[in-house]
Amino acid sequence: MTESMLEKMYADMGISKEVYAYGNAVWKELEPRFREIDETAECNQLKVVHSMQECQVSEACLLGTTGYGYNDLGRETLEAVYAKIFHTEDALVRPQITCGTHALALALMSNLRPGDELLSPVGKPYDTLEEVIGIRPSTGSLAEYGVTYRQVDLLADGSFDYENIGKAIGERTRLVTIQRSKGYQTRPTFSVRQIGELIAFVKGIRPDIICMVDNCYGEFVEMTEPSDVGADMVVGSLIKNPGGGLAPIGGYIAGSRKCVENAAYRLTSPGLGREVGASLGVLKDFYQGLFLAPTVTASALKGAVFAANLYERLGYAVIPDGKESRHDIIQAVTFGSPEAVIAFCQGIQAAAPVDSHVTPEPWDMPGYDSQVIMAAGAFVSGSSIELSADAPIKPPYAVYFQGGLTWQHAKFGILKSLQSLVNKGLVGKNRLKL
Ligand SMILES: *Cc1c(COP(=O)(O)O)cnc(C)c1O
C-alpha cells in the first residue's frame, strides 16, 4: 500500500493531512526505540513459552472446572507457569480475584496481622489503596483491623529518601509496599533495578520484612521483574499487561510459598485455601493472553513512546519524556486545562473498535477522590491494556494514557486524540508545522 493510500484511509477516519504528516514525522524518528522494545518482547516471549513448556501445559489445561473446583489441572498448571515466569516459589492466579485493587488488598490483608505496621517508602499509593489501607477512612480497611500505616515520601527529584525510610522502619514494620508504576501521579516510574536497591536497603535493616511490589502496568516491560531482585510478592491485574487483552477478569500474586499460602487462605477460607475456586471457562483466555502479553505490552509501549514524542514536540510536559527508558506502559501528558484533558480522552474514545460512537464525560468513580474521565472502547470492560486514557479532573490536569493491543491501533488513537484537540481549537494548526 502506498503512502497516499494510507493517508486517504486516515482521512476517511477523520485524520487531517496535517495531523497525519505530523504523526509520521514523529514516528520516523523512533525506529531505534522500537527495535529495543521488540528485543525485550522477544526475550519475554521466550520466557513465557519456555515456562509453558516446562510446566507441560496441555490441551486439557485449557478446560475449566465448575462448583468447588477441586483438582483443577488447568488452574494449578497456570499457577506453576506464573511462578516460573516470575521466578517465585508459588503463585495464585484466579478469576475470583476481581481486579488489581482486590489482588493488592488480598496480599496485604492476608500477610498483615493486628498490631503490624505497613510502610510505603515511595510516597502515596494508588488512589484505590487509600481506602484499603484506611488513609481515607473506609469500611473493612486495614486500619479497622488495627494495622497501622506509615509513609515516606520521595525526595523532590523522585529518588528514595533512604535516611527517613531507615528511621521509619520499626519493630512493628511487617510489610513494605512498593508501587512500581506512577499510577495517577507525576512522579517517575521505578525501574526493576531501582526497586532492587530499595528492597536490598530494607532487607539490610530487617531481613524478615515482607517486600511487596504493586506490579500493575509493569509486567514484561523489562526483561526482569521485581521478583528477580528480591521482592517477596509481586501483585497485579489480568486486565492489564499479563492478561494480554484476552483475560476477561482476574488478578495474580506471585511470591514466596508462605505469602501465597496466606493469600489463598484469605481468598477462599481458612482450611480450604487454594484447593477450591473453579476456573469456569476462563483458562484458555488466561493462557493465550499470557502467551500474547509480551508483544501486546510492546505494542502499548510503542504507543506510549509515540505519544510522549508527539506531545512533547507540541510543547506539553510529558512523563516519561520522549527519550527516557520505560518501566511501565503509562504515559502522562500534562495539558493544564480540563477542556484539553476531556478533548484528548474523547479522541481516544473515537478511535475505539467498540463504543467509538459514545462520548466520555467526567464522573464520580468509586474509590477516587475527584471526578475522573475515562476513555475506553474495550472488548473487556475497563481493560487498560486496551487503548485507554484516564484523567482525574484536578490540577495539574494530566491525562494518563495507556494500552493498545496493536501498535497500529495505538498510533491511530493518538492521532485521533491530537485531531480532537485541533478540532476544538486547543491546538492551533500553526503548531503542526514541521
Ligand atoms: C490499576 C492499578 C491498580 C488497581 O487496579 P484495578 O484493577 O484498577 O483495581 C493498583 N495499582 C496500580 C499501580 C495500578 O496501575
Q: Reduce the secondary structure of the chain to three states and give it as a string.
A: CCHHHHHHHHHHCCCCHHHHHHHHHHHHCCHHHHHHHHHHHHHHHHHHHHHHHHCCCCHHHHCCCCCCCCCCHHHHHHHHHHHHHHCCCEEEEECCCCCHHHHHHHHHHHHCCCCCEEEECCCCCCHHHHHHHCCCCCCCCCHHHCCEEEECCCCCCCCCCHHHHHHHCCCCEEEEEEECCCCCCCCCCCCHHHHHHHHHHHHHHCCCCEEEEECCCCCCCCCCCHHHHCCCEEEEECCCHHHCCCCCCCEEEEECHHHHHHHHHHHCCCCCHHHCCCCCCCHHHHHHHHHHHHHHHHHHHHHHHHHHHHHHHCCCEEECCCCCCCCCCCEEEECCCHHHHHHHHHHHHHCCCCCCCCCCCCECCCCCCCCEEEEECCCCCCCCCCCEEEEECCCCCEEEEECCCCHHHHHHHHHHHHHHHHHCCCCCHHHHCC
- pLDDT tens digits along 335-367: 999 999 999 999 999 999 999 999 999 999 876
Express each pLDDT in 368-379 by its tens digit: 778 999 998 999
Q: Does the Cβ of 400 fall within 6 Å of ligand 1?
A: no
Distance (Å, rounded) from C-alpha 404 to C-alpha 314?
Answer: 22
Residue, of 428 and 77, whose pLDDT is higher: 77
What is the reported pLDDT for 196?
98
In short, whether 51's Cβ falls inside 6 Å of ligand 1 is: no
- Beta carbons of 81 and 49 less than 8 angstroms apart: no
pLDDT reported for residue 367:
67
**Mean pLDDT, residues 193-212 taken together:** 98
The partner residues of 376 in beta bridges, in order of sequence, read 388
Cα(243) to ligand 1 centroid in Å equals 14
- Residue with more model confidence, 122 or 184: 122
CA 180 to ligand 1: nearest atom? 13
Q: Is residue 1 predicted with pLDDT exceeding 60? A: no
- Of 106, 180, 216, which is best to mutate to test ligand 1, by the most ligand atoms within 8 angstroms of its C-beta? 216
CB hemisphere CA count around 207 (13 angstroms): 0
Residue 434 confidence (pLDDT): 76
What is the bridge-based pairing of β-strands 233-237 and 210-214? Answer: parallel
Point out the ligand 1 atom lying closest to the alpha carbon of residue 101. Answer: 9
Nearest CA among 414, 411, 419, 322 for reference residue 29? 322
Cβ of residue 214 lying under 6 Å from some atom of ligand 1: yes
Closest alpha carbon to 405 in 294, 319, 320 = 294
Atom of ligand 1 nearest to the CA of 128: 4
Give residues with Cβ within 8 angstroms of 11, minimum separation 6.
17, 20
Q: How far apart are CA 310 and CA 420, in angstroms?
A: 14
**Residues 39, 41, 43, 44: what is their CA dihedral angle, to the nearest 10 degrees?**
160
256 burial type by CB count under 10 A (0-12 exposed, 13-18 middle, 19+ buried): middle
Ligand 1: distance of its center to the CA of 90 in Å?
Answer: 22
- Please report, for residues 21, 56, 237, 402, the alpha-carbon distance to residue 29 in angstroms, rounded to integers and kept in the order given: 13, 42, 33, 21
Q: List the grid coordinates of 11.
A: 482521512
Using the mean position of ligand 1's atoms as its centre, give its distance from the Cα of residue 132 in Å.
Answer: 12
- Higher pLDDT pick, 298 / 430: 298
Each residue of 282-321: pLDDT tens digit? 999 999 999 999 999 999 999 999 999 999 999 999 999 9
The finding on whether 189 has its CB within 6 A of some atom of ligand 1 is no
CB 129 within 8 A of CB 159: no
Q: What is the mean pLDDT of residues 126-148?
A: 96
What pLDDT score does 127 carry?
86
The per-residue pLDDT for 2 is 62
Residue 183 beta carbon below 6 angstroms from any ligand 1 atom: yes
Place of cell 518482547: 41
**Looking at residue 4, what is its pLDDT?**
85
Query: Cβ(252) to ligand 1 under 6 A?
Result: no
Q: Is the CB of 383 under 6 A from ligand 1?
A: no
| Stated pTM of the model | 0.95
Cβ–Cβ < 8 Å for 358, 270: no
Atom of ligand 1 nearest to the CA of 182: 13
Average pLDDT over residues 15-40: 97
The alpha carbon of 216 and the centre of ligand 1 are apart by a number of angstroms equal to 6
Q: Determine whether the shortest distance from the Cβ of 179 to ligand 1 is under 6 A.
A: yes
